[in-house]
Amino acid sequence: MFEQEKNDLIKTGQALKENNLISLSGGNVSCRVDGDRFLVTPSGMAYEGMVPDDIVILDIDGNVLEGTKRPSVDSIALLHVYKNMSRVNAIIHTHQPYATAVGMVYDKIPPCVTTLANAVQGVVHVAPFSSAASLAMGEETVNHIGDANAVILKNHGVITVGATIKEALYAAVYMEDALKTLFIAQSMGTPQLMTDAQYQEAIEVFQDYGQKKE
């Protein structure tokens, strides 16, 4: 069941690796299917060589409906986000280094480059620390993500969300690019930032970007 979606999760996990957002079996990818079922990548498995049968299907309470592997240890947090944010159909969790590093310095990411606005469609906040496998990780995400598609978990990593897996992937990859740029700028001096109006404009411009949606 949900073969296509399972393959999408695996391909997305591999894309995280290719874009240097995770190491080894780090992070996780999940999505909502049919409203109240959730596909989650397995705990502690590398994405290379992962097959659809390795993906676990959970109900909203975390009961395993299908699959023999243990689901991601962060499932309790992921389900809390799905439960409380109806706009979210996909979640990616990474420990991507640039975004995580920048989150150790800021509580709110400054409006630095258009790529950031494009990628996350809002202002990125840094949520207080929460550990892996905790409900708090989900609670802090819901409390701090706002309208954006991403939140940074201080001293931990990143959660990105989307209406689709592609949207969540896009947010993770381009946010890393953007915050790498901020990091480089800061290493040379004090960056000149965008105004809030310029940042807002970058969010809006992007809503019409790309191919026309049918």
Name the minimum Å distance from CB 60 to Zn ion.
21
Q: Which is nearer to Zn ion, 157 or 162 (CB)?
A: 157
Planar angle of CA 122, 95, 107, nearest 5 degrees: 45
Binding residues (CB under 5 A) for Zn ion: these are 132, 157
Q: Which is nearer to Zn ion, 114 or 134 (CB)?
A: 134
Name the minimum Å distance from CB 69 to Zn ion.
18
Name the minimum Å distance from CB 180 to Zn ion.
20
Q: Which is nearer to Zn ion, 84 or 155 (CB)?
A: 155
Name the minimum Å distance from CB 156 to Zn ion.
6
With beta carbons less than 8 A apart as the criterion, state whether 87 and 149 touch.
Answer: no
Beta strand 150-153 pairing with 126-127? parallel
Q: Which is nearer to Zn ion, 100 or 118 (CB)?
A: 100
Q: Which is nearer to Zn ion, 6 or 93 (CB)?
A: 93
Please name the residues in contact with 67: beta carbons below 8 A apart, sequence gap of 6 or more: 42, 53, 54, 55, 56, 57
Name the minimum Å distance from CB 95 to Zn ion.
6
CA pseudo-torsion sign 11, 17, 21, 25 = positive
Name the minimum Å distance from CB 153 to Zn ion.
7
Q: Which is nearer to Zn ion, 23 or 164 (CB)?
A: 23
With beta carbons less than 8 A apart as the criterion, state whether 50 and 22 touch.
Answer: no
Extended strands (E) in the chain:
28-33, 37-40, 56-59, 64-66, 90-94, 126-127, 150-153, 157-162
For the stretch 85-88, contacts whose Cβ atoms lie closer than 8 Å and that sit 24 or more positions apart, written own/partner, are: 85/142, 85/145, 85/161, 87/161, 87/163, 88/32, 88/161, 88/162, 88/163
